A and B are shown apart, each in its own frame.
Chain A
């Protein structure tokens, strides 16, 4: 009876629910017992015909007082100990947990993964692995609540809190902010996506293709939660919408005229108080981004705002590149970008997850099974199509790299090798 808790998606959800259900059963039993006794006494001993009948002057019973003190005490001890035990499991993070930094801000959740990947309101974890969340807040109190995992802890500015869970099934789950944090508290939601380990590795390594300035600007707008106050669809929130903002003319609160050009936008971002447009709250509630955003970031944001002002937005179809006329190495570079090899393999010699492509061709070394190799055409082809056939010493085994067999043709692999050869 009364089993309403959501789906169980973490390994300790089951034990939380069994404590919960035990309390429910005890509660229903005692409520029915006591309310039942009260109603029974009410009916059985009701006054009849408007005249009181004789009643015995019973003042109490020591025996009963002891019983109904001791029985609830025993029940309370059992439930309390059970609850504390369940809590301890929630606080002991198993070794080898994947640590993800979570920052709450009005009104978004930012996630930073061990690879350095950053997301907003998008929370992806592999199934079966313990996940530790190290949580803080940039502004006010928030609370990170994942009902399906049965976990919750406050995000406190200036402090770190943590929670952990081990997802036991894949799927999408809701994340709520459960500590009141202002206007958009009820919109401070995130989606938790539990995926297979391989999918997670691919997802985490995927840092995205090279983005255009406007696209980078869009990402920055999202990351800094500008959308809390500035819409991109023309609707009024707190500040002006970004839609068709660029080029707009108007008046400041001091009567001065302005045109929303690059310099105006830059000033508005870095020092919102310098000039406030008529009709908007003065002083502006917007935080100053001086020192928080680089010049390049601001240029990119301006490009993004400009792109929202090109009306109607014409998507210029990218000219289909003629692959046949391209040099093999250039084609290889294109595949390198398209297949997101860039996520794990750098071009500048730095090590990310896999080896850098710089100076890779012709290198010699040892496999984990002791065999030695030279990075020739055959070796590289095998590494791309079947990454797990041989793993080089010092790299994770089994390799997290997806197999490209069936995804890349022999011709394409050759082109990639040609591209590698150019990276001496």
Chain B
């Protein structure tokens, strides 16, 4: 790929945003880019709603004793935070927004393989989201996002609505995953061999495989719940001879792989950003790809590490502890490769690069604290303490959310043809990273001191760290608001046009105008090299 071919085609005035106008043109579109934007707006909304729930929880916990709400209200807020952030925001997350937008562009296709199915999956997502909101509205669930029985059976009917919502949302996931798999297999442009696929596409491929294979289990669980409630078949309820631990198995068989649905695409984003701003090929491309597939595979056999003290057999506990360590190895391989990419590079500290570097730091903490939790004798202590809460947020917020924000900043000029205010973007980056660490580093210490999670009130000895965590949460929220308002301003108000390829990046998505035309490319492009052919070739040794 020569430098000249990456120069943007002179921007024609029509693009996917202005080719058709009116709300109907959006609601009936089958353009993957417009579908991606509709996901983006919906997800942003839920990110804010989930964030408000998080602030409600942190405000209550600022000081010991009741502050602004009762224990029951608190239980509903933390459940709302978990349910909204997980099922409505971060599971669709990067694949639905960035994956939808970028996949056809990155492999040189006019659209995904099944454009109408793609629109359907958006509508299915909206339906599931509406069901979740109904359940949160009419009968606020207070079970935690894990819905463990028999509590969830005793606490009313809302859990069926909620599991129903998860079931419908799951279908959206399955459809998107299926669509992506077929697209990647069938619609790669000439020359786009498997080993030339961008790592982001590989990450989407691994994610899609998990979505298609793991999500049906939630449907199964729902059917069993309905059987239990409607026909009195004892499955999970011990009062009917059922087994509540079985519910935990089913739940985590889906919900553990879901963690990789959240973070694998973020890994892909980081793998795209670091080479561009280092002007170096992604170090160990094949190792990075293989490690993504490895994580996806191993992710299926580690679910019971969420249940090491749940009463499963000692043999199971030992088995699941040991296999969990298998996740650590491919993850470590990725981190080493990202950092090595920067070696002898020409490094620009652009906003996306700052996010990518912060990601590496946060993910080191997320990964190493995962080792504590995989280690059986130590997990017995940490299970269901704040240590787990902090670890989870380092992987999902520090990983998946930072990955999504990094991606939005990186591909923003591609998506909207505009440039955001870089100074504000950096200030927001600083606040997000500062606030995030101030929120969750104290929670590791709280966990080490034995503070259990999902507590409305706590012993006075934990007060200082809780207050620090609450202050951090407000800074974090302010940072996100600033970052997203900055992007919104640039999108909706600013007239500052971005060049078609502001970073001189080699990916195929940059070989069309920004914003792209409706069909992405005038003609299907041909590629003859990897998307990471940066730098001067050196004599191989």
- List residues of A whose CB falls within 8 A of some B CB: 2, 4-6, 15-16, 19-20, 23, 26-27, 30-31, 34-35, 37-39, 41-42, 45-47, 52-61, 64-65, 68-69, 72-73, 76-77, 79-80, 82-91, 139-141, 143, 145, 147, 150-154, 156-159, 161, 174, 176-187
A-B contact pairs, 23 of them (CB 8 A): A20-B378, A27-B369, A34-B336, A35-B361, A41-B342, A54-B535, A57-B533, A58-B343, A59-B532, A61-B340, A69-B332, A83-B377, A87-B317, A87-B377, A140-B149, A143-B309, A145-B384, A152-B381, A174-B450, A180-B453, A182-B75, A185-B71, A186-B456
B322 within 8 A of A: yes
Please determine whether A52 and B279 come into contact, CB atoms closer than 8 angstroms: yes
B144 within 8 A of A: yes
Contact pick for A16, options B345, B364, B378, B459, CB 8 Å: B378
Known: A58-B535, A141-B151. A86 touches B452 (CB 8 A): no
Please determine whether A187 and B457 come into contact, CB atoms closer than 8 angstroms: yes
Known: A34-B360, A185-B455. A72 touches B329 (CB 8 A): yes
Known: A80-B374, A176-B452. A69 touches B536 (CB 8 A): no
Please determine whether B321 and A80 come into contact, CB atoms closer than 8 angstroms: yes
Please determine whether B321 and A139 come into contact, CB atoms closer than 8 angstroms: no
Please determine whether B368 and A31 come into contact, CB atoms closer than 8 angstroms: yes
* Cα separation A26 to B371 with both chains bound (whole Å): 10
Q: A27-B369, A150-B381, A186-B458 are in contact. List 12 more A-B contacts (CB 8 A).
A: A30-B368, A34-B364, A38-B339, A47-B347, A57-B537, A61-B283, A76-B329, A84-B377, A89-B377, A181-B151, A186-B452, A187-B457
B71: which A residues are within 8 A, CB to CB?
183-186
B77 to chain A, nearest CB (A): 13
Contact pick for B75, options A52, A177, A183, CB 8 Å: A183
Please determine whether A83 and B536 come into contact, CB atoms closer than 8 angstroms: no
Q: Which of B318, B345, B454 has most chain A Cβ within 10 Å? A: B345
Segment of B93-101, B284-292, B405-413, B519-527 engaged in the interface with chain A: B284-292
* Cα separation A77 to B324 with both chains bound (whole Å): 11
Q: Which residue of A lies closest to B151 (CB)?
A: A140
B142: which A residues are within 8 A, CB to CB?
182
B440 to chain A, nearest CB (A): 14
Q: Which of B246-274 contact A (CB under 8 A)?
A: none
B189 within 8 A of A: no
* Cα separation A19 to B349 with both chains bound (whole Å): 39
B538 within 8 A of A: yes
Q: Which residue of B lies closest to A3 (CB)?
A: B448
B245: which A residues are within 8 A, CB to CB?
156, 159
Contact mask B336-376 → A, CB, 8 Å, 1/0?
A: 11011011111111000000010011001100110110111
A167 to chain B, nearest CB (A): 16
A147: which B residues are within 8 A, CB to CB?
381, 449-450
Please determine whether A161 and B311 come into contact, CB atoms closer than 8 angstroms: yes
B173: which A residues are within 8 A, CB to CB?
none
Contact pick for B332, options A39, A72, A88, CB 8 Å: A72
A186: which B residues are within 8 A, CB to CB?
71, 452, 454-458
Please determine whether A42 and B318 come into contact, CB atoms closer than 8 angstroms: no
B535: which A residues are within 8 A, CB to CB?
54-58
B258 to chain A, nearest CB (A): 19
* Cα separation A30 to B453 with both chains bound (whole Å): 28
Q: Which residue of A lies closest to B234 (CB)?
A: A158
Q: Which of B490-541 contact A (CB under 8 A)?
A: 532-538
B145 to chain A, nearest CB (A): 11
List the 3 shortest-distance A-B pairs measured between CB atoms, nearest first. A86-B377, A158-B238, A147-B450
A53: which B residues are within 8 A, CB to CB?
346
Please determine whether B357 and A83 come into contact, CB atoms closer than 8 angstroms: no
Please determine whether B450 and A45 come into contact, CB atoms closer than 8 angstroms: no
* Cα separation A387 to B149 with both chains bound (whole Å): 53
A184: which B residues are within 8 A, CB to CB?
71
B384: which A residues are within 8 A, CB to CB?
143, 145, 152, 178-179
Please determine whether B150 and A157 come into contact, CB atoms closer than 8 angstroms: yes
* Cα separation A69 to B287 with both chains bound (whole Å): 10
A55: which B residues are within 8 A, CB to CB?
278-280, 344-346, 534-536
B216 within 8 A of A: no
Contact mask B369-409 → A, CB, 8 Å, 1/0?
A: 10110111111110111000000000000000000000000
B126 within 8 A of A: no
B325 within 8 A of A: yes
A69: which B residues are within 8 A, CB to CB?
329, 332-333
B484 within 8 A of A: no
Contact pick for A45, options B346, B371, B377, CB 8 Å: B346
A234 to chain B, nearest CB (A): 18
B120 within 8 A of A: no
